[in-house]
A = this chain, B = another copy of it.
């Protein structure tokens, strides 16, 4: 029993009460949970310098039923007109629905809801069933200067869907969630923007049954939010999935889009390449709803070769530095790219040993024997996809390069373990917040020549604060650079102080030479850094596009600083 002294939280282990604040901010499946392990709590206690008292559940668990009433900022006629367009069954004016669709998944939004603070919420929630309804709605709102926000799966971590000026929230995942056409010859699907990841991937994996195709397919895009994010959301936020090093980022998989804007409907052409002037498709990559609503996408699909074709490999590198050098050599090696590649810095490696079952005495002994000491070592996990001959050769080349950097091959087991739980980690957040702690992430683009500088400056900065823990990994690899992902755990009692701290990390990221985001997007959270990052001339181009598509500034106003 001694082992359990710091392991007392009575985790919430039941779905949030219907109508409660928690039912809105809780991530994912209402009945899904992932509790911090005892080892993780021990580590937290040590690293954050906490007492047992700190590790008890706090009061703001958000279990209360929402009772507040909010006035609707639209006229009765406007509500009637919009209801006429969308249909009675698909319009909600109730408080709960309006709050639910006003919130994304940032830590601060969860904090607000835990404290029953909602701020301004949307006036009306609509669930359109067709492109035609959306076109009519956009035209109507443009005429009446009513703001429109688009809600896909609701996993924005950048305040990207917040209805800051009131208006109408358009939910795409309710009805516009189907594959419209699968073209096996072209290896493309025409898919509605509101389709969620699992359904999309399932239908592609089982395409022979669903669509009578000869082969099975995969979408190739697996962000951590996969289970609760939409195809359209992936595209407009420039998302990047965990297999992106091989399959490319979300937008790389999009051949064409159909977008409804106040300036009309645009349907780009689905050639893989054409020298017909700047591709208008590109302008909607990362547009985050500022120009219009992406309603359909032509997505490139890839042959799905599961089972024995996929190769798994994991290594322990002597240091973060050697792991970075090795992944650079792999990314520039001209033998094709692994699908997943992720290298953890020393601090994340400590956590990962626990999370992915590497923390075994026998492994530890072997590692120490090889001189791979706990304070320095770096975990590398990877997979290779594609044709068997291709995937096997990648594993062989990766092993060759890893060996050169004196890494120890530790089989594919840790990668498989990671893969199995990879969509569950976000569930940890609710538990950590129940303790009155915060777990949050920020990420940034780096080049090979500034990865160490950005990594060091950000970590040094966070570590200077009391009761903080920061770990980092690189994932999403390119010939010319990668991304850095920071996970930090803190203990703040005040949301404003937390936000100040959080924003100061973004500031140090940008000042160190990183981008404000690699794959989370800008939303309304990163906007203060966008102009200094892009420069005024580039911001002016975005403003000119905004003015063209949305002269009345009704489309997701404020997002991207527009």
Chain B residues positioned under 8 Å from A279 (CB to CB): 282, 285-286
Q: Cβ of B548 and Cβ of A270 under 8 Å apart? A: no
Chain B residue with the shortest CB-CB distance to A562: B277
Which of A237, A249, A270, A278 has most chain B Cβ within 10 Å? A278
Q: Cβ of B277 and Cβ of A449 under 8 Å apart? A: no
Q: Cβ of A275 and Cβ of B334 under 8 Å apart? A: no
Q: Cβ of B480 and Cβ of A272 under 8 Å apart? A: yes
Quick one: which of A532-555 are within 8 Å of B by CB?
533-538, 540-542, 544-545, 547-549
From A146-154, A423-431, A510-518, give the one contacting chain B: A510-518
The 8 Å CB contact of A277, one of B288, B303, B448, is B288
Chain B residue with the shortest CB-CB distance to A325: B185
State in angstroms the CA–CA spacing of A268 and B265 once bound together: 29
State in angstroms the CA–CA spacing of A388 and B541 once bound together: 44
Q: Cβ of B238 and Cβ of A275 under 8 Å apart? A: yes
Given A237-B275, A274-B515, A265 contacting B537 (CB threshold 8 A): yes
State in angstroms the CA–CA spacing of A526 and B276 once bound together: 9
From A29-37, A72-80, A361-369, A390-398, give the one contacting chain B: A390-398
The answer to whether A328 has its CB under 8 Å from any CB of chain B is: yes
Q: Cβ of A332 and Cβ of B187 under 8 Å apart? A: yes
State in angstroms the CA–CA spacing of A518 and B283 once bound together: 20
Q: Cβ of B544 and Cβ of A271 under 8 Å apart? A: no
State in angstroms the CA–CA spacing of A186 and B445 once bound together: 13
Q: Cβ of A300 and Cβ of B479 under 8 Å apart? A: yes
The answer to whether A406 has its CB under 8 Å from any CB of chain B is: no
Quick one: which of A153-172 are within 8 Å of B by CB?
none
The 8 Å CB contact of A480, one of B255, B277, B278, B545, is B255
State in angstroms the CA–CA spacing of A53 and B333 once bound together: 58
With both chains docked as a complex, state the minimum distance between the C-beta of A239 and any C-beta of chain B, in angstroms: 7
Chain B residue with the shortest CB-CB distance to A237: B275
The answer to whether A266 has its CB under 8 Å from any CB of chain B is: yes
The answer to whether A188 has its CB under 8 Å from any CB of chain B is: yes
Q: Cβ of A266 and Cβ of B538 under 8 Å apart? A: yes
State in angstroms the CA–CA spacing of A545 and B274 once bound together: 19
Q: Cβ of B480 and Cβ of A522 under 8 Å apart? A: no
The answer to whether A483 has its CB under 8 Å from any CB of chain B is: yes
The answer to whether A335 has its CB under 8 Å from any CB of chain B is: yes
The answer to whether A344 has its CB under 8 Å from any CB of chain B is: no
Given A390-B336, A447-B270, A479-B300, A276 contacting B534 (CB threshold 8 A): yes
Given A275-B238, A519-B273, A183 contacting B449 (CB threshold 8 A): yes
Q: Cβ of A335 and Cβ of B540 under 8 Å apart? A: no
Q: Cβ of A280 and Cβ of B385 under 8 Å apart? A: no
Which of A185, A273, A335 has most chain B Cβ within 10 Å? A273
Cβ contacts A324-350/B at 8 Å (1 or 0 each): 000010001111100000000000000
With both chains docked as a complex, state the minimum distance between the C-beta of A102 and any C-beta of chain B, in angstroms: 22
Chain B residue with the shortest CB-CB distance to A333: B387
State in angstroms the CA–CA spacing of A536 and B271 once bound together: 18
State in angstroms the CA–CA spacing of A497 and B293 once bound together: 47
State in angstroms the CA–CA spacing of A476 and B275 once bound together: 13
With both chains docked as a complex, state the minimum distance between the C-beta of A110 and any C-beta of chain B, in angstroms: 22
Given A271-B515, A390-B393, A548 contacting B538 (CB threshold 8 A): no
Chain B residues positioned under 8 Å from A280 (CB to CB): 534, 538, 541-542
Q: Cβ of A278 and Cβ of B283 under 8 Å apart? A: yes
The answer to whether A240 has its CB under 8 Å from any CB of chain B is: yes
Chain B residues positioned under 8 Å from A336 (CB to CB): 336, 386, 390
With both chains docked as a complex, state the minimum distance between the C-beta of A58 and any C-beta of chain B, in angstroms: 33
Chain B residue with the shortest CB-CB distance to A309: B334
List 7 A–B pairs whose Cβ atoms lie within 8 Å, in order of A's numbering: A186-B449, A272-B478, A273-B476, A273-B518, A303-B334, A334-B390, A544-B547
Q: Which 6 A-B pairs have the closest CB atoms?
A: A272-B478, A282-B282, A238-B275, A544-B548, A334-B386, A335-B387
**A275-B519, A282-B285 are known contacts; what are 6 more A-B pairs with Cβ within 8 Å?**
A185-B449, A186-B448, A237-B275, A277-B542, A277-B560, A305-B334
